[in-house]
Amino acid sequence: MRTIIQIATAFVLLVAQFVNTAIAQQDGSPPRGIIQQYGRNNASSLQSLIADPSNVSLLRNYSSVTDQLLQAPPTSDWLVWRRTYDNKGFSPLDSINRQTVSNLDLAWRQAVTPGNNMPTPLVHDGIMFLYSAGDVVLAMDATNGELLWRYRHDGGAVTSHKFGISLHEDKVLVPTSDLHMVALDARSGSVLWDHAIDTNDNTGYALRSAPLTAGGQVIQGVAASRVPGGGFIIAVDLETGEETWRFNTLARPGEPGGNTWNNIPLKQRQGGSVWNTGGYDPDLDLVFFGVSPTYNTGPLLYPLGIEGVSNDALYTNATLALRPTTGELVWYYQHMANDQFDLDWIFERSIVELEIDGETRKVIVTAGKPGLFDAVDAATGQYLFSVDPGIQNIVVGIDPVTGTKFINPDVIPDAEIIRTVCPLYQGGRNWQASSINNESKMLFVPMFEVCMDTLLNGEGTLLSSGLWMDAVPIPGSDGNFGRLQAIDLERRELAWQHRQEIPPISATLATAGGLVFLGFLDHSFKAFDQQTGEILWQTELDAIPSSFPISYGVDGKQYIAVVAGQLNLHTGIWLGLMNRFTGYTDTNPGEAALWVFALD
């Protein structure tokens, strides 16, 4: 039987087809605007193109993205990763709605650099900023894709996929593959400052998430899957480009939480990656980040039985609440201790106001790979409630006061018995972010119905415990591997679900028009009715839309934008799984491009 590790190699071969593909305009004609001076450019020879704002009215009229603007953005803008600091992924625009969406049509399409990525476009004052594959940043006219300026960071590192960039004042903040944070002038694309993150000569770190700006800092999580000492969160001063603080996500020996690692030395404490963008609440003055588990699970399999020592492995699978100006840890909540299955609780921390016992409270809502959603108080970290969409079989009970999860004894790794664990370690949900309607408090999350057979036989290559893991359909599967699940957060219960054979592959986008947009592995891009789950519109792209769709407006016109054709590990694994389970093959992968839709 093929392991999921073998399936992942299919991704590497697939991406190789795209790495040296040339950039081209979709109709073959020379791109418009500033790029006309340079003609068509090969992806391996791209150079930065600096704009002169005095010659381009859009750039000249660009207004600063102030803290006040970030906290209360114009309805037409998409200023941060999930549009707002509370990570809801919700657009208040409503001209594209249940009644009009059938008239949605392609407005423009622009080829972008091919490669490994899952980007989020940002839009302000009619300018779209896009982190494209290969450490390339584009500034474009958001009405037609005309290039305004381009920046290419040539750090010599193998480029890695990223969620995107961030805006603050007159800066575009760019995390790079060689571990730099670069500030660009939003009006020209020129470099304002360039900060190299100090890694103490260790290798294996990566920047994956979009930066978060708060408290005068640009705050970036750092992934460190197998690096001794683990990952960290770093803050860089927005004005000077110098490091302000650093928070280590794995508790150190002798420090609070340091006794939760079965007494293993620091160099054996690995993981604790931070590869998802945090949330921010200005009223509480707190930023919220999630932390991944460790791959060095072997030393944590069994507790030592020593008083005061545990194998919980803080701060893995936890929500951290930090002061943005100092990095002070205000509170933490560990969603799942001692994760032996790589089921990260790393994803978006959405901040929602909900009525809890007759009182309106700010709540952090988040789910890990098991697809199980936890809600904790944003001010204190107090556990409030959970909602289980029913994919996982790991947690069989939850303490209603503390939220402590009781693990199913039938899934604990065993050396003699093959045990079916749900979900697969790729997750019942993954980086494809959920979205939340501000008014209805409905959450919409892409999900995956697949499990894994496990055996503790020493042949596994992902976890140090030697756990062998092989993907299998959910027991009794009806052949539907993909799900869009609606959850009523106010009632704390599941609402409708849409299930189909082909899995979703993008984040969801919810709008005030009553729609949820979602991309799928088969190139389809669909709009669902938020109330019923009915498909109201769909189109077929020529590539896989594995990214974060957004909605924005310019001059009163609403647009929907999504990047397709920039692949990533999750996409490659799912192509392998669908071929194995159903025979599905992507015979026409298409070029990397940004697709933008508007009402006809």
- Distance, in Å, from the CA atom of 104 to the CA atom of 96, rounded to the nearest integer, reads 8
Helix axes 4-16, 569-582, angle to 10 degrees: 120
> Tokens 């979205």 — which residue?
435
510 neighbors 91 (Cβ within 8 angstroms): yes
- Distance, in Å, from the CA atom of 303 to the CA atom of 311, rounded to the nearest integer, reads 6
The pLDDT score that the predictor gives to residue 16 is 35
Phi-psi sector, 533: left (phi>0), alpha (psi -120 to 50), beta: left
> Tokens 């933490």 — which residue?
332
79 neighbors 124 (Cβ within 8 angstroms): yes
Q: Is 561 exposed, middle or buried (0-12, 13-18, 19+ CB in 10 A)?
A: buried
Closest CA to 344 of 229, 462, 508: 462
The pLDDT score that the predictor gives to residue 11 is 39
The pLDDT score that the predictor gives to residue 181 is 98
φ, ψ (nearest 5 deg) of residue 13: -65, -40
The pLDDT score that the predictor gives to residue 37 is 28
> Tokens 């849409």 — which residue?
498
Kind plus residue range of the DSSP H or E element containing 7: helix 4-16
This prediction's pTM: 0.93
497 neighbors 488 (Cβ within 8 angstroms): no
* Strand-pair partners of 597: 106, 560
Give the start-end residues of each E strand in 410-545.
419-421, 435-436, 442-448, 450-456, 467-473, 482-488, 493-500, 509-511, 515-519, 524-529, 535-540
**Residues in the chain with pLDDT values less than 50:** 1-45
The pLDDT score that the predictor gives to residue 91 is 98
The pLDDT score that the predictor gives to residue 30 is 29
The pLDDT score that the predictor gives to residue 78 is 98
